[in-house]
Structure 1
Amino acid sequence: MMREGEKMIQFLVRPEVKNLVPYTVQQKEKENMIILDGNESPYPLPYELREEMAQKFIKLELNRYPDASCYALRQKIADYLGKGVSPEQILLGNGSDEVLQFLVQTFVRPGDRVLALAPTFSMYKIFTELSGGVYVSLHLNSDGSLDLEQFWKAVKITYPRMVFFCSPNNPTGTRIPLETIGEIAERFEGILVVDEAYGEFCQGSMISMLDKYPNLAVTRTFSKAFGLAGVRLGYLVANRDFIREVSKVVPPYHLNSISQMVGETILENYSLIEKRVREIIKERERLRAVLKSYAGWQVFPSEANFLFLRGLEVPALAEEFERAAIKVRKFRSPLKDAIRITVGTPEENDQVIRVIKTFKERRRANGTEM
């Protein structure tokens, strides 16, 4: 029975919050598990890089507020991106999640529709509904591609104020061609946000088209390719006028001194990260080749640091991974027949392959293979 205090809280909670389904994280269940469910980098930062950061940390004046402008870090990001990007075109956040929230707070009014693809990153829906917006999903084709004709039909029917494209998409790993996004940016009369959280694992970026489309914004993160998921650092790239408006909703001193220092240091040593990105791409293709050699599931083409597979045998395979203490991403309905596997180290991927081979051999032996 609900107590009086609980009733009062329930009464006072905003309807948008009360109706939300919170983002959930699967907890680590066993010691020595292989963690392949969060799309993190499998590699810790190199020792020499951590040592450099430790020396810089000693010199930080933590009794003082951080640089509110984050200028040094924005300059290094601009240098890293190239393509004529200036520091004035960059806005930083505590992970790209916060940047996505800033975008919704800036442009989405109560009752406005926000369009995104399905399945995709769940925070788009949460941020939209928190702002009182109406979230609309458009399902991808069965191969994870965008049906452009259906997209324009959805735009005509719903008249969205904002569209989110996660490209490469989480969880499918598929990517919308840059030319297609450019055509959409030219015709669409609202805000077009391209989430390139996995941009380092593929070629090309919509950042090169920002000057051409004033309604286009690109978000990126240090959590994936850079291996800084524990730091929570992301950024927005857009034209100067766009950034000026979004900056109005950013709290003062919102990015701490440690995050700024870590971001600057890792960009000064990007060659170390670049080598690891190449290794992850190589391992992704090795895993994909093994998965594609078997029937019983569909392996989506991936341009990210993970693989998405779906099919009748996938739930049983997920149980096999669990027994082997390998943690992969499972989903609720309507994706109960799907899993997402983050690319690990070569040694971790060897274990994933062993589980897959054992699973298929056992099913072949007992006549249950599909």
Structure 2
Amino acid sequence: MTYELNEKVKNLIPYDPVAGDYEIRLDANESFIDPGKLFREDFLAAVAAVDFNRYPDPAATELRKKFGAFYGVDPENVVAGNGSDELITVILGAFLRPGDKLLSFSPDFSMYQFYGEVYEKTNIVAEKQEDLILTAGDVIDAVRKNRPNAVLLSNPCSPTSLVMSREDVLHIVENTSALIILDEAYMDFSDQSIMKVAEKYDNLILLKTCSKALGVAAIRLGFAVSCPKIIRALNCVRSPYNVNAITQAIGTVLFSKPEYIRKSVEEIKKSRTYLYENIKKLANSPGVRSLIKPETNFVFLELDHAEFVYNELRKNSIIVRKLGDYLRITAGTQKENDRLIQALGEILTRKI
């Protein structure tokens, strides 16, 4: 007898990030600031203190305390995860039953729909307006039309870089009984967070990642913030030792440096603005359709010939992310931004 994979997983294609040796990588929305170089000794000392023969603290107590202190939330209303991706899968797998309706929007983070399919939810995808703006009215209309069990969306949005106002998000939460899973992965670069009031709502889970503003994508660390009832349930269904001791140690050190984090965020925002303003100067170039003013650490550029521009940038050893007719370009160092801007300008002014 030969074991057959079920139809759900048989034809899946693994996530395949761009591989290759590129001089400039502006494709993954990582931070160009590496705290591992700045705080090497602190990180090494923290890792050296880990008892490698023991399981990590299952509650990530010190890490949650530091996270709570930095963001101004009660650590008792926080759960740490092996990246926010793990938390999304736990929430979808345990809080929703097979066949339950999961509402998301397009464009948004592509993995939302993928996780919905893997965990056997009924994926409902509502298309955004042509300008890509998502309003509270749009979300509430989609909820009333489709009656989902849960709504999953990012704010600010990846990949559009647009942000919904704090008031609009709270209006959504307060006007539906569906579970709202709000991914604030990029909110450090904007000012519309609702994290400090997340614990007040019994239908809201707010997600945070350390892979963007904090610059520690390598350690895979994320958090969920919610009300006590949901936090208790989340602690029941997650793996007992889901955040390893090394990640906890490094994360605790990093959150002990709040001034560094704030300065890093400002530096990234400055880089983002520089990138946006200079690409904006190319707006009248042939084939450029639109450029959105970002509230993230990247810009989102729409082109008639995105495939051509993407491939030409690759020839210049610059890699960005292509999403249909759009290029998503992460803010980099001054040198990286200047190289990208120069190459992009040259490519756009060619006769295609």
After TM superposition, the score normalised by the length of structure 2 is 0.94
Give the alignment of 1:1-370 within 5 angstroms. 8-9=2-3, 11=4, 13-18=5-10, 20-28=12-20, 30=21, 32-45=22-35, 47-82=37-72, 85-293=73-281, 294-295=283-284, 296-331=288-323, 335=324, 337-363=325-351
Give the distance between the partners of 2:107 and 2:25, measured in 1 at CA: 22
The AA in structure 2 aligned to 1:118 is: S
Measured against aligned partners, the alpha-carbon deviations of 1:208-256 in whole angstroms (never above 9, x if no partner) come to 2224321111100111111100100001000111100111111121211
Measured against aligned partners, the alpha-carbon deviations of 1:308-355 in whole angstroms (never above 9, x if no partner) come to 111203332212211110010113xxx2x1111011111100101111
8 Å CA contact 2:99, 2:120 repeated in 1: yes
The higher radius of gyration belongs to 1
Q: Give the direction of change, closer, same or farther, for the CA distance of 1:291–1:91 in structure 2 (3 Å limit).
A: same
8 Å CA contact 1:20, 1:126 repeated in 2: no
Q: Give the direction of change, closer, same or farther, for the CA distance of 1:345–1:90 in structure 2 (3 Å limit).
A: same
8 Å CA contact 2:104, 2:126 repeated in 1: yes
8 Å CA contact 2:107, 2:128 repeated in 1: yes
Give the stretch that moved more between structures: 298-307 or 308-317.
308-317
Give the distance between the partners of 1:328 and 1:262, measured in 2 at CA: 29
The AA in structure 2 aligned to 1:328 is: V
Give the distance between the partners of 2:141 and 2:75, measured in 1 at CA: 37
Give the distance between the partners of 1:178 and 1:149, measured in 2 at CA: 14
Give the distance between the partners of 1:171 and 1:231, measured in 2 at CA: 23
Aligned length: 348
Runs of 4+ in 1 over 6 A off after TM superposition: none
The AA in structure 1 aligned to 2:101 is: R
The AA in structure 2 aligned to 1:14 is: N
The AA in structure 2 aligned to 1:259 is: T
The AA in structure 1 aligned to 2:48 is: I
Deviation at 1:156, TM superposition (A): 2.3
8 Å CA contact 2:200, 2:227 repeated in 1: no
Q: Runs of 5+ in structure 2 lacking a partner?
A: none
Question: Sequence identity of aligned pairs in percent?
Answer: 33
Give the stretch that moved more between structures: 290-299 or 198-207.
290-299
Match of 1:193, SS? Answer: strand
